[in-house]
Every structure is written in structure tokens, then in C-alpha cells.
Chain A
Amino acid sequence: MLFAVTAQADDNYRTVAVADPYLELRTGPGRGYPIFHVVDRGESVDIIMQRTDWYLVRADNGKEGWVDRAQMEQTLQPDGDPVSFQQASLEDFTNAKWETGILAGDFGGANIISLYGSYSLNPNVSLEAWGSQILGNFSNGWMASVNVVHETWPDWRVSPFFTLGTGVIHTEPKSTIIQGEDRTDQVGHVGAGFRVYATRRFLLRAEYKSYVVFTSRDENEEVEEWKVGFAFFF
């Protein structure tokens, strides 16, 4: 009982007052769910939690339901000011410091799955670290690399970038097909691509990179890579 009282007190600062004629409470966090209760203007609701763009609220009579962001922004704070919920925007897409994502595609005929993390030095220049798994018909392997990315127009919704980097590639030929040795070689690469702002903290990314593998043999190897994927910024 004591615990309940404490929790109630803690919830108070998430109380908002309904300013529109009414606030619609749905049974689930999505547009398809039916409206089962309305809270009238002037009454207040407690915000319990948020999932994507939906807020679970509790009315004074104890009814709990989900309200979308657009309606929540029509409510008032206890001091009478309108509520504003921060939402990631195109501006954050340009200015966010950290980004992480997953891309997949083709690496010289083999499949490649990559995970990356990025840190922005400023809106135009960022540093990235990549880890990739390469799955081919004749060999498997992994690659680790670091690169510098330059975005010329970082405030565009579709933002093109150029990149330059280096790393190591490890190749294991498949024993069932060909006999060969495991190799680890240094690689260098140049590339270009697009970052596309999708929604909230979410973006799509597509890129092309051209790799030079500095092998211990007489000739260096060149590999072309195409990848698409998605990422989050924060």
C-alpha cells in the first residue's frame, strides 16, 4: 500500500490536462484499434508509458488506453503551457553525433553482411568503424575497416557522401571445393553513397565501395561492393 502511494506521487509530474474537446483512448498502440473511452476537456490524465508514437494514459476514473502523439500534443501541462514532445527530426538526422546500422549486399560476387558505428566530428565529416561477414561460394571471411565520410549537403533529406578508408580482410577458402590457405590482407577503399532520412531516428543507406586488396602475391586484387541497409542515429 505504501509502495502504491509512492508510485502515485512519482507519477504526478506526468499529468496533463485535456484541452481539445476530448481525448480518444484506444485499446492498443496503433491506428486500427478501436476507441473505447473519451476523456473530456478539462479533465487530466497520467502518462504511463510510450511506445513508438503512442502514449499509454490513465484517466481519473482508472481507465487506461493509448493516445497518439498528435492528440497528446493538444494537451496542457500543469502550468497551462501546451505539451511538446520531442521527436527526432530531419535536423537531428543532420546533427546527431552517433549512428549505427546494418547493411547487406554484394562483395565481388559474394554476399556480405555489415555492421557499422559512426561518430560525427561535425555535420559534414564523420568517422566510421565497420565489421563485415563475407559469405561466398568459394570462400568465406570477415573484414574490419575504418573510414572517413564526407557529406557535402548533410541537411538534405537524401544526403550524398564520399568515403575513404582502410582495414584488413581475412579469407578462408572452402575446403570442399578448393585447397587454399587462410589469408589476412590489408585493404584500402574509396566509395560513395546516400543516407536517406526515413522517420524518427531511422535512416536508409545505400553505398558503393571499390576495394584494393594488398595481397602478398605479385598483383593486387580489386573488389567492388554494393550494399543497402538501415541505420539509427542518436
Chain B
Amino acid sequence: MESRFRVLFLIVATISLPGCAATKNLFGFGSEEASPSTSEAPGQVIDPEVERREIKEAAIDREDFEIGAYVGIMSIEDFGTDVVYGARLAYHITDGFFVESTVGRSEGGLTSFEELSGGARLIRDSQRTLTYYNLSLGYNILPGEVYIGEGRAYNTNLYLIAGLGSTRFAGDDRFTVNVGAGYRFLLTDSIALHLDFRDHLFDIDLLGEEKTAHNLEAHVGFTVFF
């Protein structure tokens, strides 16, 4: 009786010891476990035992967007020149093309007619605030570098840009086309200064006949890539 228990115990113990090399071979277990020496392929550049981590592209910092603010002067046709300030958001599609949206605000003064006529006013003071938004497509036509002193080089881009949008001025929303050129000076790979010249064209009939007004803007800006 006792010897029968011993035999049973031995059988159970043998089956339940898969870690034992002899039983593994006996029952055919563990055949898929490869020995460590066979995994090394010849001609590999880096020893896989050092680190085995995959490149995750999502983990690479993508910096295709550019956000920033600007300040400058804007000449509103017939209404004088005043400070303009605004914000810019751009997305770089390729190394050449980018799309840009801007919103800006300036203030119109008195027309010559209003100054000479004394009290007569063409529009209310509240209507003299000019606000615009633009959606534009830009192209970096002259990428390059500038050198300051002997040891410093900065990347630059001269870009052409054109787009359309709307301008609210003199009590009306006006369809506006903008064309211009700008200069992007990269202080680092992620921070840039802008010098930008833009013509905003819209139709206005405030002084009698309808005409296309050219409203020239020049501004300096600061942007950060993210």
C-alpha cells in the first residue's frame, strides 16, 4: 500500500516538474524555447542585448506649427497711419509651403476731408477701429543663412505670401485680399523673428465712388515653433 503511494507520488512529481531538463525532453515540453546563442544574426550593427527599444515616431518632437504675435504700423487709405498689432498661427506643410492665419487690429484717423471741413464726420469714432483676419498660403522662396561675426550662423527664409479674409472697418465687413513678403530669422531652431510687409486690398465707397483701397502694413513679429 505504502509503496503504491510512493509510486503515485513519484509519477505526480515527475509530471509537475517541467523545469527539470530531463522531464522536458521526456515529455517533449519546451521545444520552442530557443537557446540564447542562436538568436544573434551575423552582421548586426548593434548588439541586441545592450538595448532593445523601438523607435516610436510619436515620441519624436514634431514642430510644424508656428505661433506668435506682431506689432507694426498700418496705413489705412485716406484714414492715416497707426499702430497695428496682431497674432499669427502657421502650419508648415513642406519645407517650402506653409499656411498662415492672422488676426490684427489697427485704428483709422481722420480723412483730409474731415479735417478740413471742421465738424463733419464721415463715420463714427467706434467705426474707425479696423480689425482683420486673413488665411494665407506662403512659400519660402529664398531660404538661406546669415552670419553674425565669425562664429554665428542663423537660418533665414524670405517668403512670399498671399491670401484672403475679411476686414471690419467703417461699419462694414469687407472681403480682403492680402499679398506680401516676409523675412523669417530663426534665432534658434524653434524661435523666430519676422519682418513682414503686407498689402490689404478691399473695396470701399465711403468717399463717393467705389474704389479698391491699398492698406499697407509693416510689422515685426516673434514666433515659436511647436
Chain A residues proximal to chain B, CB less than 8 Å: 12-14, 16-17, 19, 27-33, 42, 44, 47-56, 76-81, 83, 85-86, 102, 104, 111, 113, 133, 135, 137, 140, 174-176, 199-200, 202, 230, 232
Contacts and interface: CB of A to CB of B under 8 A. Distances in A.
Nearest to A41: B45
Nearest to A202: B93
A14 B189 contact: no
Interface in B44-65: 44-46, 48, 50-57, 59-64
A49 B189 contact: yes
21 contacts: A13-B53, A13-B55, A14-B59, A32-B143, A49-B60, A49-B189, A51-B62, A51-B64, A51-B92, A52-B94, A55-B60, A78-B51, A79-B48, A79-B52, A133-B166, A135-B166, A135-B175, A175-B171, A176-B171, A176-B172, A199-B94
Closest 7 CB pairs of A and B: A135-B175, A111-B175, A30-B95, A49-B61, A80-B44, A28-B155, A13-B53
Given A32-B144, A85-B57, A111-B175, A50 B63 contact: yes
A42 B54 CA distance: 18
B143 A42 contact: no
Interface in B160-200: 164-166, 171-175, 186, 189-190
Interface of B: 41, 44-46, 48, 50-57, 59-64, 91-96, 99, 135, 137, 140, 143-145, 153, 155, 164-166, 171-175, 186, 189-190, 203, 205-206, 225
B55 A77 contact: yes
Nearest to A43: B45
Given A31-B95, A49-B62, 8 more contacts: A13-B53, A14-B60, A17-B46, A30-B96, A104-B164, A133-B173, A176-B171, A202-B93
A80 B41 contact: yes
Contacts of A31: 95
Given A78-B52, A80-B41, A83-B55, A200 B92 contact: no
B45 A30 contact: no
Given A27-B153, A102-B135, A200 B172 contact: no
Contact of B46 (A13, A14, A80, A113): A80
Given A12-B51, A32-B144, A19 B45 contact: yes
A174 B137 CA distance: 30
Contact of A78 (B50, B96, B143, B171): B50
Contacts of A137: 203
Contacts of A232: 91
Contacts of A104: 135, 164
Contact of B45 (A51, A54, A80, A113): A80
A154 to B, nearest CB: 22
Given A28-B155, A33-B143, A52 B64 contact: yes
A32 B190 CA distance: 19
Nearest to A176: B205
Contacts of B165: 113
Contacts of A54: 95
Among A12, A55, A56, the most chain B Cβ lie within 10 Å of the Cβ of A56
Given A17-B45, A51-B62, A79-B52, A140 B173 contact: yes
Contacts of B155: 27-28, 33
A33 B63 CA distance: 19
Contacts of A133: 166, 173
